[in-house]
Structure 1
Amino acid sequence: MILRKLSLRNFRNYDSLDLEFSASANFICGNNGQGKSNFLEAIHLLAVTRSFRPCNDRDLLKFERDHFEISGEFVDEAQVRRHVNVCYSSATGKEVSLDRKRLSSAAALIGVIPVVHFSPESHRITSGPPAERRRLVDMLLCQSSPAYLTDWQEYQRSLKQRNALLNQNASAKTLAAWSEALANYGCKIIAARRRFVETFAPLVLQAYRDIATPSFSLQLTYQSQLAADELTQENYLKLLSAAHATEMRRKQTQVGPHRDDFVLAIDGRELRRFGSRGEHKSTLLALKMAEATYFKDKSANAPLILLDDLQSELDAMRLAAALRHFQQFGQLFVTALAPLAEGMSANAARYEVVAGEMKWVE
């Protein structure tokens, strides 16, 4: 997928922006606080209808404005033009349109425009709690598999309802229907995640060896409460039954894929507990490189690749290697304080951002 044109109105520190982009690589330069990350955030919002930052839609409004609009014109692999529009009003909320037709659900857009995003804040994927790694995997699978997106949405709905009943001290009989729904969708999610790791782990290992020490081994494993040979709805329901007393006390469902983890280890040492700062950086970059490779094989469209302030996180050698890798798999948008000397293609388009105004630089 290629982003040809982008228009912003009243978004973050942008009053108005209309630009066209290179189909290969686009370099955005500017000092801190000028709007580089906000620009990438707008593209991310067009792809998955939400920010990569922890915020709500109201936070995206330009100061003292009551609405914003983001519009993008794309061209897919079949050379078909696609138009995406995301609007937000403090009075009416968010509306998402695809090819000028309003979508009944924002989730209907997920997967149309695959996206890979890297920023300094992404470090929580390797160093943070399990929820960060689940979010990474779930977003990747939701973008590449409509079936997984449906199962994930139904699981989240069932989980919310079941937790509400637990908070009301509901009986096991009252919980039964939602427990069965959780077992149904939970088993599907766990099975899909296991298949994903079998494919994704070798991609991560290869990417890590390309940018770090080739002799080191990076392992990615999936930790679930249900082992692969025990993954049945009957066994799932047994675990829920065994956890009933604890769930009534804590008012939260204690069994299911929402409590699983994806563990990263280097030569058998768990990264989260024992990894050095350099190992965390290399692993995070390897995960993002593997994402781009995965989309090439699993998605009908190449991803948009958004790299925010990559220069501050990597040494010159790894930075150049990463840029060369990413340019093989999708349209690239890279932000930095100063122009990058190595790794960017010679025909990369260059832009400068100053106080929410962005212009093409020859």
Structure 2
Amino acid sequence: MRLLSLEVSNLRNLQSVSLLPHPNTNFVIGANGSGKTSLLESIALLSNGRSFRTPDSKKLIRHGSDQLVVFSAIESEHSGKHRVGISKSGKGITSAKLDGKLQQKVSALAKVFPVISIETNSMELIEGGPSLRRSLLDWGMFHVEHRFLEIWGQYRAGLKQKNALLKSGKKVNTTELQHWNRVIAHFGERLDIERTQYCDALIEQFGRIRHDYFESELEIQFRYRPGWDKATFVTLEQCLSEKMESEIQRASCLYGPHRADLDILWNGSLAKDICSRGQKKLVLYGVRLAQIAYMMRKTGVSPILLLDDLPAELDEKNINNVIRFLKEFPCQTFITAISDQSITQEMLSAFEEHKMFHVEHGTFEEIR
């Protein structure tokens, strides 16, 4: 995957930006608040319709503007060249276009333009709640398993209907509830099979990343929890049937893949509880690089990689480990740093073919 050109209008302090990135590596240098992270944010927004910094899209729109617009020409390894664009208005309306055609869902852009970002808020993958780790798994499955989106959509539709029934405030019709339990169980168990297979593949790939690039420093184990007790209940349908009364009392669907989690353990304990911040960073990089490697090997497609302030996030040894990975699994990469002095000679030597941009007050200039 390559981003050929990028145009950004009215996103935070980026009033009007037009860039022609290098197909391999792009360094973006600038002081805090200059707009370098906003550039990465615009690329991520173009892929998944969401900011990695805030859930409130109104905060993305430049003060005094009615809407933001991000537009790009891209080239995929499989499907060739495309034009992708997204806009967000102050009224909360999002419009996504692919090759000039308005799309019903932003996922249409994500499918042709996969992006992985590692930035300050990414640490929530380790420290935050289960929904973030489910999203990590679902992102990976979305890009490598063709059946995932259909199965997940059917499951979510059934879950929405069941929760509406439970929260209706009326006496619950158990016959109707049993119907939605069967729907949820059917698609939920298929979803669980897909997730389990993806977890197994990701864990195997993580082991290779740890061995090849981090010299086995990461004493990490993973434990996937499906969202119900498989040791007690043979099937999800059995679980939902036996827990029907408790779900009625709590007016919520309490069991199924929407309650799953991927525990990240360090020597048997949750990493978020015992790891230092530096160790958590290594775990985060290990997991995300494993996703990239598995995606490339499974599909032949390389995602765009956004690394916000890489020199500050890792020590020199592990920066060099990441560099070695990217030489074996080349992605178009955007790396931000506060100053060009933060970009080591090892990085410049490894990424000999690159472009470097300096940003100040939302204005970008290529450094020759």
* Short-chain TM bin: over 0.9
The aligned counterpart of 2:330 is 329
Q: 1:346 aligns with which of 342, 345, 352?
A: 352
1:32 aligns to what? 32
1:204 aligns with 2:210: no
Overall identity of the aligned pairs, in %: 27
Q: 1:61 to 1:203 in 2, by over 3 A?
A: same
Give the deviation of 1:291 after TM superposition.
Answer: 1.5
Q: CA deviation at 1:220?
A: 1.9
**Which stretch of the first structure deviates more once superposed, 194-203 or 86-95?**
86-95
- Asked if the contact 2:181/2:241 (under 8 Å) is kept, the reply is no
Corresponding position of 1:62? 62
Change (3 A) 1:43 1:231: farther
Counterpart residue number, 1:84? 84
- Partner secondary structure for residue 112 of structure 2: coil
Q: Which amino acid aligns with 1:355?
A: H
Matched residues, number: 360
Give the corresponding residue for 2:192.
190
Q: Structure 2 vs 1, CA of residues 106 and 79 (structure 1 numbering), >3 Å: closer, same or farther?
A: closer
Deviation of 1:348 after TM superposition, in Å, equals 1.5
CA shift digits 1:209-253 (9 cap, x unpaired): 445452654222211245779997xx2122112222222232211
Amino acid at match of 1:291: Q
Deviation at residue 79 of structure 1 after TM alignment? 7.8
Quickly say closer, same or farther: Cα 1:302–1:230, change in 2 above 3 A.
Answer: farther
Report if the CA contact (8 A) 1:70-1:85 is conserved. yes
Q: Which residue of 2 aligns with 1:46?
A: 46
Corresponding residue for residue 262 of structure 1: 262
Letter in 1 for 2:112: V
Output one character per residue of 1:305-333: Cα deviation in whole Å (capped at 9) or x when no partner: 01112222211111122133134331011
- TM-score where L is the length of structure 1: 0.92
Alignment-mate amino acid for residue 343 of structure 1: M
CA distance in 1, matches of 2:230, 2:165: 29
Aligned residue runs from structure 1 range 218-297, under 5 A:
218-226=220-228, 235-297=235-297
1:174 aligns with 2:176: yes
For 1:4 and 1:231, how far apart are their aligned partners in 2? 51
Secondary structure in structure 1 of the residue aligned to 2:209: helix
CA contact (8 A) 1:269 1:275 kept: no
Contact 1:142–1:148 at 8 Å: present in 2 too? yes
Does the Cα contact within 8 Å between 2:8 and 2:70 map onto a contact in 1?
A: yes
Query: Structure 1: which 5+ residue stretches go unaligned?
Result: none
Partner Cα distance (2:43, 2:211) in 1: 30
CA RMSD across the alignment: 2.2
Gaps of 5+ in 2: none
Match for residue 12 of structure 2? 12
Q: Is the 8 A contact 1:72 1:84 kept in 2?
A: yes
